[in-house]
Structure 1
Amino acid sequence: MRLKLVTATSLLALCLVTTAQSAEINQDGANAVKDTLTKLLPKDLAKSGLITVNPAGARYEIIYDLAKLLGKADPAKFAINGLTPFSMFATPLDSGLWNIEGDNSLNVSGHMKGPDQKPADFTYSIASLAYNGVFDPAISYLRSGTFAAKDIKVSSKSETEEVHASFASMEQKLTSTDSAGGNGRIDFAGTGSMSGFVEQVSGLQMPPVEFRADSLDFAAEVKGLPAKQIRDMIFFVLDHVDEKELSPENSDKIKGILKDAFPLLASFSETIGVNNLTVSTDVGKGGAKAFGYNVAMDGPSDAMRFGFGMTAQEISVDTPLVPASYSAFMPASFDLQVAVPNLDFAGFGDAFMAMDFNDKAAQKSGEEMAKKLFRDGRLAVEFPKISAKSDVYDIDMTGKIEGRVDTEKDYSMEATILARDLDKTIAAVRELAKTDPDLNQVSFGIMMVKGFAKTDPDGRSRWDISISRDGSIAVNGQVVKAADQP
């Protein structure tokens, strides 16, 4: 996910930093583009024919022969067949930007040996990968683009595991605008969808498992990205990757780039939704009508909030591993939202700037940076929503836990639990206890908990729970455990 297709395509043109100074397309211009594309490659690779650029009417054709990358590979450890050259077309625009487009296919197979020296065979195929976008040399990235792929298949087979996966189609769109404030930063947004997903996994230590989904939709947005500084960082690393130690001048240079880049973003969000997900095994199957995932980060740089969540609707489970008498207790839906507030990335950045990149004790500097990220070493975890619902229960919870990053003892918690139709839950547990007597204690425990509950106007039972740092516990204002002794 995460716009991998967008990123992979734009990286092919990462070094395309020349500007479109003339509408005339000729061999000299093609040579200049090639020199730009190969200038950061090792000399032997730059001369290998990995990249070829030719005039093609009103544009340049850039041909990538990735088989050249395997020139020094040991065929016994890695070999690939069917890797044919593919091309993209680059058209210089009067604005100084470039229009990038292409339509290629992929059908390769091969074998490899991992670190454990165990062999594995693999195949990859894409019937069509078409894209069209506008590339900005100032940031070495795409300003916009559309991407479409069809009939994507991946498989791998080793002595212990076999995997087959496929998508019928995939579409993505990338857009960008200059960030508010005119500070040279850029807001990027991407959306996309995939259809007809199937994955089959089997192995010596596991039974066959099959995953299916009708479609997968995703959206991502990042605001305030210092794209130019990120490009400069990448080029700096490539230029100095072979140096064991940075000179004082280069150390100051990279720190200057990093200082200009902080904060690395103003906000970030991503959502993924899976429709009609099913999981099938030899012992049954399950799934959900809808499954969702979300992550977000926003707020001022000295008090950013990181949030994460998962949701599922119309969950189904059909397996003899879950007895029919317990099926009513399986959640039909759930919602989990977690957040970590008040992250001090500004202080983290200041500590990073003070770090000596050549210092052998860099690990200690990293620990100091981590302490800066959490103000005074204090950590808070919020639970804006935790809910689960089935035929016999309906529970919601919100809360917050506060503690320290250097100890597990100094913590406090505030939480509110709401339950609808609690008598229905107790009756269901009692009925189940007729065949499983151990559940009688569970029923008794729920009745005790009910005794502490308040009733909200909508009829739900409420528990406001407070755990203090001194160890005392109160429920709805009633102390149920005194403070710990010193």
Structure 2
Amino acid sequence: MRLKLVTATSLLALCLVTTAQGVEINQDGANAVKDNLTKLLPEDLAKSGLLTVNPAGTRYEIIYDLAKLLAKADPATFAINGLTPFSMFATPLDSGLWNIEGDNKLNVSGHFKGPDQKPTDFSYSIASLVYTGVFDPAISYLRSGTFTAKDIKVASKSDTEEVHASFAGMDQKLTSTDSAGGNGRIDFAGGGSMSTFVEQVSGLQMPPVEIRADSIDFDAKVNGLPAKQIREIVLFILDHLEEKELSPENSDKIKGMLKQAFPILASFSETIGVNNLTVSSQMGNGGVKAFGYNLVMDGPSDAMRFGFGIDAQDISLDSPAMPASYSPFVPTNFDLQLAIPNLDFATFGDALMAMDFNAKPPEQSGDEMAKKLFRDGRLTIEFPKVSAKSDVYDVDMTGKIEGRVDTQKDYSMEATILARDLDKTIAAVQELAKTDPDLNQVSFGMMMVKGFAKTDADGRSRWDISISRDGAVAVNGQVVKEADQETVQPQ
């Protein structure tokens, strides 16, 4: 939802390409703006009254009547009530950009039938949606903007499930700057927060569940985006959407556009943080004081790195389904970070440009393209950090796995595992084994593993584990499994 306000507002102004400099606000100008806004729409929709533009002092008022989109919908399959026209205002600036602003609200309800033909009722309301921004016709997108929404509510109800969700409010901000190097690319940054999230779910096959969060914070950055080229590609695709296949000239043209746009970005990052998340149901209650998610892509186009991570702090779980003796083993903190380095988007892009866009791709093309993206078909997955902590254990791991995209057998692994207070963990398992004898084997196995450990200066037990491509396994330099021997077939 965090990007929908920006995206929706930009799409509404997608074709506002009239040069703003020196524009006189009059009906002729309003007609020109309308023509630009509707030129990519089907003719019947463009003439339906979906969009109206009127001069309003020093700016234009653009009115959207989205109910016109549903004029031909079968009311037995889909119907919506309360969808009233809403407007935004566009003011031309001497710089050629446009100021846009709006203050609207939404309160709709209706019903639809899904693929199974079962009816679902829904409602969607926003008490207030206020936004301002600066729109750049050259890229058909916002250069900057602020967005504020209050009292957002969504609900749906079918024969089998009922869902209610709400936010007290949402604030979002978008900024942009020209990328370094003067190459015409743009760096975008956005962030914001949603407050007081509540979701309630119930159904015939499940007891009621309530999910709450005090706030959800988010930030995203994309650098080196070829915004102008992306705009031209989108317009080209829309212009040729009805064609069964492209002519040789148009095929070469779209390839040229794509080649000019590559690499699509220089870097991308996104983080989401959920604060004081709780889940309540008849089966028990749980919560996390802070839950985080992160995604990043960066590096040169022939060696980009993809990273992903999640972390949780102060995890709690109270459920009658879990015996009290097991509760100390539930992690209170968890962190997982992984990365895939050396993604070769440059070679991948060259291979894409060499393809015939009209021909059916051969069955093996997917494997071949994967070998372009993963150089020579080799895949590496790094684990910069994996950690889990509870009242009875504290474990950290780092490592990497190397293999190939075309087989699951040819792989190797290097990993380091660190455990604090291992004796405490073993004692906890032994105590639990008094009521669950099956855990005696786990306890015995842990004591064997302890025998391979080294002790670091901080007192933690350490295992450096190496698994070679030939199947050999070593722990702290000690071979625990010899290399696999290939079976020689008789001649």
- Give the TM-score normalised by structure 2: 0.98
- Alignment-mate amino acid for residue 56 of structure 1: A
Q: Which residue of 1 aligns with 2:489?
A: none
Q: Is the 2:302–2:343 Cα contact (8 Å) retained in structure 1?
A: yes
Instruction: Give the Cα separation in 2 of the matches to 1:276 and 1:72.
Output: 45
Cα offset for 1:63? 0.1
One-letter code of the match for 2:472?
Answer: S
1:149-182 Cα deviation digits (max 9, x unpaired): 0000001111221111000000000000000110
- Indicate the larger mover: 91-100 or 67-76: 67-76
- Shift, 1:470, TM fit: 0.5
Deviation at 1:362, TM superposition (A): 5.8
What does residue range 78-89 of structure 1 map to in structure 2 within 5 Å? 78-89=78-89
Residues 24-45 of structure 1 deviation map (CA, whole Å, 9 limit, x = unaligned): 2100000000000000000000
- Cα separation, 1, equivalents of 2:37 and 2:370: 38
- Distance, in Å, in 2 between the alignment partners of 1:386 and 1:230 is 37
For residue 205 of structure 1, report the CA deviation from its aligned partner. Answer: 2.0
Aligned-partner Cα distance in 1 for 2:196–2:411: 47
User: Corresponding residue for 1:268?
Assistant: 268
* 3-state DSSP of counterpart to 1:72: coil
Give the ranges of 4+ consecutive aligned residues of structure 1 lying more than 6 Å apart after TM superposition: none
Residue of structure 1 in register with 2:450 after alignment: 450
Partner SS state of residue 34, structure 1: helix
Pairing 1:372–2:381 present: no
Indicate how the Cα distance of structure 1 residues 61 and 195 shifts in structure 2: closer, same or farther if over 3 A, else same: same
1:238-249 matches, within 5 Å, as: 238-249=238-249
SS in 2 for 1:391: coil
Counterpart residue number, 1:225: 225
Q: Percent identity?
A: 84
Question: 2:193: which partner in 1?
Answer: 193
Q: What residue number does 1:119 align with?
A: 119
Q: How far 1:5 moved relative to its partner?
A: 1.6
The CA deviation at 1:367 is 3.7
* Correspondence 1:388 to 2:388: yes
Cα distance, 1:392 vs. partner? 0.5
The match for 1:314 is 314
Range with bigger deviation, 136-145 or 369-378: 369-378
| Counterpart secondary structure, 2:372 | helix
Contact kept, 8 Å, 2:338 with 2:384, in 1: the verdict is yes
- Measure how far apart 1:361 and its partner are: 2.6
What per-residue deviation string (whole Å, max 9, x for no partner) do you get for residues 132-163 of structure 1?
Answer: 00000000000000000000000111122111
3-state DSSP of counterpart to 2:189: strand
1:377 and 1:68 map into 2 onto residues whose CA distance is 51
For 1:13-162, what aligned pairs fall within 5 Å after superposition? 13-162=13-162
Q: What does the per-residue CA deviation read over 1:165-211, in whole Å, with 9 as the maximum and x for residues that have no partner?
A: 00000000000000011000000000100000001111222222111
* Letter aligned with residue 170 of structure 2: M
Structure 2 SS opposite 1:448: helix
Secondary structure of 2:430's counterpart equals helix
Indicate conservation of the 8 Å contact 1:63/1:88, yes or no: yes
- Structure 1 residues 336-355: Cα deviation after superposition (integer angstroms, max 9, x where no partner): 00111110000110011011
Structure 2 distance, partners of 1:360, 1:436, is 59
Aligned equivalents of 1:40, 1:430: Cα separation in 2: 71
Q: In the aligned structure 2, how far is the partner of 1:451 from the partner of 1:364?
A: 48
Which amino acid is the alignment partner of residue 102 of structure 1? G
Query: What RMSD, in angstroms, separates the aligned Cα atoms of the two structures?
Result: 0.9
**Contact 1:2–1:220 (Cα < 8 Å) also in 2:** no
Q: Which amino acid aligns with 1:164?
A: H
Task: Tell me the distance in 2 between the aligned counterparts of 1:361 and 1:331.
Answer: 47
Residue aligned with 1:49, SS: coil
Aligned letter for 1:89?
Answer: F
SS at match of 1:442: helix
For structure 1, the 5+ residue unaligned runs are none
Residue deviations 1:12-71 (CA, integer Å, cap 9, x gap): 111111110324210000000000000000000000000000000000000000000001
For the residues of structure 2 that align with 1:360 and 1:319, how far apart are their CA atoms? 54
- Report the secondary structure of 1:355's partner residue: coil
Give the distance between the partners of 2:366 and 2:441, measured in 1 at CA: 49
Which position in structure 1 is the counterpart of 2:340?
340
Provide the rounded CA distance (Å) in 1 between the counterparts of 2:236 and 2:207: 48
SS in 2 for 1:269: strand
Q: Which shows bigger deviation, 42-51 or 9-18?
A: 9-18
Q: Helix, strand or coil: the match of 2:369?
A: helix
Give 1:461-476 correspondences, 5 Å limit: 461-476=461-476
2:349 aligned residue: 349
2:404 corresponds to: 404
The alignment covers a number of residue pairs equal to: 486
Q: In the alignment, which residue of structure 2 is the partner of 1:290?
A: 290
Name the aligned partner's letter for residue 449 of structure 1. Answer: V
- Give the aligned residue type for 1:128: S
Amino acid at match of 2:171: E
Show the counterpart of 1:257. 257
Deviations 1:225-271 (A, max 9, x none): 00011111111111010000101111111111101100000000000
Note the residue ranges of structure 2 that are not aligned, 5 or more in a row.
Answer: 487-491
Aligned mates of 2:362, 2:127 — CA distance in 1: 48
CA offsets, 1:273-293, max 9 Å, x none?
Answer: 000000111111101000000
Correspondence 1:299 to 2:299: yes
